[in-house]
Structure 1
Amino acid sequence: LYTTSFSDLIPFFTKEKYYIAHKLVSYKGKKIIIKGEMFKVSKSELINFIQKSINIGDMREFLISPILTNNKKEVLYLTEDSYYLYKS
């Protein structure tokens, strides 16, 4: 799923807890260094944080995944102006 509206993704937040990681990557030669932080958050904290970031124009790249309770895999990839949902 691809959308330019974060509100289109809100119905897909069906779990109560999520991981959110700031996608901040740097390179030293061929070595990839992940510098972003990762946190566990509640669904309401996550939605409020993202909506506030969008409203103040400070949206960053994030990777979001529910804290899994089954075998389904979901990853949301958020950029400054586009939002993607990957499911398997």
Structure 2
Amino acid sequence: MTISGPIDGSLSEARRVLDTYISHRAAFNFMKVTPEELLDMIFEQFVRNRFDKNLMREWDIDIDSSDEKPSWTAFCKFMDQRIKSLAFTYREGNSF
């Protein structure tokens, strides 16, 4: 009996997902990424998708200019500073 049709497609997708997971996991192990760092990366990506693209570009430029590995704490600090700065600029611009 040969598997074909929707089940075959589901099996192909399942194999692709598993192979992708194994590949990414091996890459993280090779880079010596800790579980905490991995969780930080996931949170950053989740938040990144909800912020303005220009603000995210500033973050990318900021981390590219640093020799340190970006952390969740650094990301939050950066975003907090930018939001405060933008809020101040907005208030100043509208005070006339």
Give the TM-score, by structure 2 length.
Answer: 0.25
- Higher relative CO (Cα under 8 Å, sequence separation at least 6) belongs to 1
Larger radius of gyration: 2
Give the TM-score, by structure 1 length.
Answer: 0.27
Q: Which has the higher strand share?
A: 1
